[in-house]
Amino acid sequence: MMQRRCVVGIVLACMLGLVSVGQAQVGSGPGAGGGIGGGVGQIPGTAFGGATDPGAGPLAEGFRLIPSILVGQRYDSNVLFMAKGRSTPGLSKEDWVTTAIPQVRGLYTGSLATVEAQASAVGEYYAKNTGLSYVGTRVGGLLDVSRLVSRVWEGTRLRLSNTYSYTPQPPAFLTGDLSGEGANPFVRGFQVGRVNTQTNVFNVNLTAPLTQVLNVTGAYTNGFIKFGASQAQQPGQLLDTHYQTYTTGLALDLSRQDTVSVNFVGADYSYGTRGTFTTHGGTVGWIRRFTPNVTLNSTAGALVVEPSLTTGASSASTVAPVGNVALLWNGRTTALTAAYNIGVTPSYQFQSATLRTQVVTLTLVQQTVIPELIGVVGVNYGRGDQIGAGTTGFSYTAWGGTGGLNYRLTPETYLGATYSYSHNNQSFGGQEFLIERHMVQLSLAQAF
C-alpha cells in the first residue's frame, strides 16, 4: 500500500514539474480523515497532497525504505522560460526533454514520533539544447513528535518539516496543492527565466491545549531563494531573498463544527544590501466543518508594512489586507480544493520591493469509473502589484492549468500523461514581458 502511495506521488510531482520547489506547508491537507486524499502527514511539496493513492492510510509501526524511479518524455515549447520576442543566441526555446528521477523514501512510525523523508535526483537531457542538460535534487522531511511532547503536555501537537531543492526550472505556481494554505511566497505566480535556483523552507507548527476547548497555537517558517548561473537572458536582475514568518494565537472550539481564532502575525524579509521590509498585524479565523469530508477554512486581517529598501520606493508605512479562504472537499472518490489568498510578499526580480499578491487555486483529484485510472486538474491565477511604487513600478498577472491521467498498470507501476499551459505577463518600467509555455508529457514510474 505504501509502495503505491510513493509511486503516485513521484509520478505526479515529476509530470507537473513540482519536484523542484519547496513549500512552507505541513500536514496531511484535507485528507487526514480518510478518503481519496487520506493518510498521514505529507512532506511539503508533495504533488496533490499524495491524494492519488486510494489506499492511503495510517502507517504501521516500524520502518520502511522504498526506492523507486521515474522516466519521462515531454515536449516543451519554452524550456528557457523566455519572454515573447526575446531570444538567447545558440539556444532554441522549444525542445524534447527526457527525464529520469531515482528516489529513496523512508518511513518510520514509533511510539513517540513519525518520520517521513525522501531524497531524489532529477536528471534531464535536452535533444536540441544539449548544454541545458542537468542534474538537480530535491530532499525533504517531516517529523511529527506529537506523541512525545504529549507526555509533557497532554494533547500537544508538534510538527517540523524542511524541504530543499536545486533546479534550473523555478516554477511559478505550486500546482496540485490540496492544503489551500497558499503560504509560500516563492510560488505566487511570478515566473523568472531559466536560472539555477536553490530554495529551502523550514517550518514548525505547534498546538497546545489550555482547556478542553481552548488551544494556544504557534508557527514559524524560515526560507530563502538563491539564484546562480542563468541559461537565458533575464529581463531584469534577480535578487536573493531570505524571509521568516511567525504566528501565535488562540483557537476556541465553539462546537464540533466551528472553531474561531485570533492571531498575531509577523514577517521579516531581507534582500541583503538592497534593503529589508517587515510586516506585522493580526488576523481572525473561522473553520467550519460542514461534514467529515467538507471543511471551510477562512482568515482575514491586516498588516502594517514597513519598508527599508534601496529602490526609491516610498519608505512610509502602509496597511495592507491579508486573508485566505479555502473550501476543502475530500470524499471517497474525489478530492477538491478551491482557495483564494491575499498577502504581502517579496519581489525577487527587477528591484527589491513589497508586493500585494493574490492567488486563486483550484485542485481536483478524481477517481474515474475505471478503478485503475485517476484524473487530476490544477488551475491557478495570480496577480502582484508593487506597494508604494517609486519611479518604476512593478506588477504581474499569471494564470495556467494542468490536466492529466494516471493509470495503475500494476500495484507498483504507473503510467501518466499530462498537458500544461502557463501565461505570465510582467510589467516593469513601462515595459511588458510575456512568458508562455506549453508542455505535453508521458511518464512511467516503478517502485521496488
Torsion from C-alpha of 303, 307, 313, 315, nearest 10 degrees: 100
Q: What is the pTM of this model?
A: 0.85
Would you state the cell numbers that stand for residue 373, as one nine-digit string? 485510472
Cα distance between residue 274 and residue 309, in whole Å: 6
The per-residue pLDDT for 167 is: 95
The per-residue pLDDT for 22 is: 29
Domain ranges of the chain: 2-447
Four-residue CA torsion sign, 271, 203, 402, 71: positive
The per-residue pLDDT for 311 is: 66
Q: Could you tell me which CATH class the domain 2-447 is placed in?
A: mainly beta
The per-residue pLDDT for 429 is: 79
Which three-class secondary structure state does DSSP give residue 4? helix
The per-residue pLDDT for 13 is: 40
The per-residue pLDDT for 404 is: 94
The per-residue pLDDT for 51 is: 36
Q: Which long-range CB contacts under 8 A does 249-255 form with residues at least 24 apart?
A: 249/216, 249/217, 249/218, 249/283, 250/210, 250/214, 250/215, 250/216, 250/217, 251/207, 251/214, 251/215, 251/216, 251/217, 251/285, 252/213, 252/214, 252/215, 253/213, 253/214, 253/215, 254/213
> Which run of H or of E encompasses 53?
none
**Nearest residue to 355 via CA among 194, 217, 190:** 190
The per-residue pLDDT for 314 is: 60
Query: pLDDT tens per residue, the chain (448 residues)?
Result: 434 444 344 333 433 333 332 222 223 333 333 444 444 455 555 555 553 332 334 466 788 888 999 999 999 999 999 998 888 888 999 999 999 999 998 989 999 999 999 999 999 999 999 999 999 999 999 999 999 999 999 999 999 999 999 999 998 887 777 777 766 888 888 899 999 999 999 999 999 999 999 999 999 999 999 999 888 888 888 999 999 999 999 999 999 999 999 999 999 999 988 889 999 999 999 999 999 999 999 999 999 999 888 765 667 789 999 999 999 999 888 999 999 999 999 988 888 888 999 999 999 999 999 988 999 999 999 999 988 765 567 899 999 999 999 998 988 888 999 999 999 999 987 889 999 999 999 999 888 8
